Structure 1
């Protein structure tokens, strides 16, 4: 049995990023950039107005209420060949080219117009007021985004504005989910005595989709060693990661560990000193990673968020792979006995964290409304209202 910290260390040390692939920029949301992107043009590529107003020569505004004749207009998408002469003003709009000779833009709210003249109410006027200069955001030839950048919606917009059409990213893992347990029934079917509806696969598929992983297949196996071996072998030929749910404890019908040994997988660790989620197994071959999660749904989801998700992020090129972690005061007292660290389903609000009712390993209702996990090591078995506890924010 390993500690929580040791389990995370071993996963990190035994996980490497996947191969690279080229993707069009419109499809890279949630991926990680594998190579630097160099700007092929400056942004802005011309001097732009950041306001609706009037382009002027700032030195012409030597006192308040200067009146200047409006001699032309510059609009977004219009020509940039207009030249401003001293003693005049040009009507201009947001995003429009700033005329040659103009050194400031007065926002229209600080002006008034009378008989074709604009009266400037702002004084003094600084040079470059309300002007976006060439290359203010990025200059041609500079690195626009560095390798390792997580590609957000803003990154997609930025790259598109640079006319970047394709980038190299880290491939996302293909996932095979193996469901074991003869007591499990698919939704929509009639329940027999001693049977329950299988929810782990739907839960894990949803969590993977939230992470932007869509290449997922679900396979069901009987509680039989030969069936478990063949299922794992089949999934391993088509996927990078295989996640098994159930069949990993010490019962007579728990075959996943034996099946992994039979197919030649190296066990990196088995069992973690934590509650819930003690019977977690992590193994690997040259081509695949295997995670055997506990069958109880809440235990399974805790292990997915704390161990599997960080590994999938590492495989996808991310460096910020673990859940965001910080300290918050707990709203109430809590204590536990035993020699295992505890993860509690929790809710963060108003600057504090509250553990929820229903902490049992089978209980998903509390997970349905949780937005965080509280991590309490065995050294912190007794906490009181207001004590600081470690909080891991869930990716909702």
Structure 2
């Protein structure tokens, strides 16, 4: 059989290429204080305006010495102190040493710092018990970490909690960043009920919005929750029009399968166009991508695992490109040995939920159990996806599979 064993299903790789080829990054930029820039994408390179450290400083608590003085005597009188923010000032007499603390500026003429553990305080001065002192011992030179003019972070990098203090160490107070993409989202279906209300016969609670919202925010976007929309063409159309007036992208859950009450696809064709619909992926086959007149559109399946999976695998890279995040990359695939069997039929790329561990340096993986697209318990137990190739069938114990460890957006 061909690349799409199920007729009409687009391979995942083709869908990704088709989607990303159309997305153009947002060009609007903001100038933000550093304290407010976390999670934004840089709109320009960050170059260091200074050397870090800005002066030679001590890597240890100890004593600053001149090697020629130490060669004359192993005991040197104390001439003064150099503390962080309070450097030694004045003349440094020959044949003496200076008490120095970690991070303090190295006195002019100092060849080395000897840590205090290798000294003894005596009536005649400081006795140095270390005999193999080398030039520049325990001295961190100016610019040892970052040199003036160095590229510290490239344009297109999303700012993490590790980046902010590093930029602060350069004295940079404001950054130019890309405006975060705005993503409006809503659930569709008469069967959905808000949390806290009793369920009538045939109703279920709307869990999808509670999975979609944190993912949108973790992807570095602004989430706009438009609630639950009933299976009413007029109401759906009004909501789509409102959504595209507020956002750069619109994400829906439900309403893109083949049921009689699935109006989303019809309304999308009226208000915009469909780029593709139905993918050779499991779970998540009824995923739709297209464009409204003023926003991109992603239609997620209604089953909760399918909704989260397609958000993670398909919508995440789309929003990364929309937000200018050129440093984003898909999770790396790692080979693992199966500890349990995995059911599968050829025809679709299958993302099953798994639990990986390391045993004797080897990744091993087992199923979380029920792989139904409506069984979210298996998703909450998982720490990886077991990605089974489109043409692959059932996987037995001991076979090698590819796993993708969850990235930070799912933790």
Range into which the TM-score falls when normalised by the shorter chain: over 0.9
Deviation at 1:82, TM superposition (A): 4.5
Aligned partners of 2:338 and 2:196: how far apart in 1?
Answer: 41
Give the one of 168, 171, 179 matched to 1:163. Answer: 171
- Looking at structure 2, the residues matched to 365 and 147 of structure 1 have their Cα atoms a distance apart, in angstroms, of 39
1:71-107 Cα shifts (integer Å, max 9, x gaps):
1111111035345444211000011111111111111
Alpha-carbon distance, 1:38 to partner: 2.3
The change in CA–CA distance for 1:338 and 1:383 in structure 2 (over 3 A counts) is: closer
Moved over 4 A (4+): none
What's the offset of the Cα at 1:125? 1.4
Distance 1:288 1:323, change over 3 A: farther
Q: Structure 1 260/321 Cα, relative in aligned 2: closer, same or farther at 3 Å?
A: farther
Q: For the residues of structure 2 that align with 1:35 and 1:2, how far apart are their CA atoms? A: 37
Specify the alignment match of 2:404 in structure 1. 392
CA drift at 1:7: 1.6
* Paired residues of 1:311 and 1:321 also in contact (CA < 8 A): no
Instruction: Let me know the Cα RMSD of the aligned residues.
Output: 1.9
1:113 aligns with 2:125: no
Give deviations 1:361-382, integer Å, cap 9, x for gaps. 1011111121211110133323
2:346 touches 2:392 (CA, 8 Å); kept in 1? no
Q: Which consecutive unaligned segments of at least 5 residues does structure 1 have?
A: none
Q: Counterparts in 2 of 1:127-142, with a 5 A limit?
A: 127-142=135-150
Paired position in structure 2 for 1:40: 49
Structure 2: 5+ residue runs without aligned partners? Answer: 1-8
What's the offset of the Cα at 1:325?
3.0
**How many angstroms apart in 1 are the aligned matches of 2:251 and 2:22?**
16
Instruction: Give secondary structure in 2 for the equivalent of 1:282.
Output: strand
Q: Helix, strand or coil: the match of 2:379?
A: helix
Q: Does 1:330 align with 2:338?
A: yes
- 8 Å CA contact 2:48–2:147 kept in 1: the answer is yes
Q: Distance between the aligned counterparts of 1:59 and 1:330, measured in 2?
A: 65
SS of the residue 1:249 aligns to: coil
| Pair 1:83–1:136, CA change in 2 (3 A) | farther
* Residues 86 and 70 (structure 1), Cα distance of their counterparts in 2 relative to 1, 3 Å cut: same
Residue 242 (structure 1) aligned with residue 250 (structure 2) = yes
Partner Cα distance (1:327, 1:27) in 2: 39
Say if 2:283 is the partner of 1:276.
Answer: yes
Q: Which runs of structure 2 are paired with 1:215-234 in the superposition (5 Å)? A: 215-234=223-242
Q: TM-score, normalised by structure 2?
A: 0.91
- Secondary structure at the aligned position of 2:80 is classed as strand
**1:186 lines up with 2:198 in the alignment:** no
Secondary structure of 2:40's counterpart equals coil
CA distance in 2, matches of 1:32, 1:392: 25
**Count of residue correspondences:** 394
Residues 355 and 231 (structure 1), Cα distance of their counterparts in 2 relative to 1, 3 Å cut:
same
Of residues 77-86 and 99-108 in structure 1, the stretch that sits farther from structure 2 once superposed is 77-86
Change (3 A) 1:380 1:86: farther
Matched residue, 1:252: 260
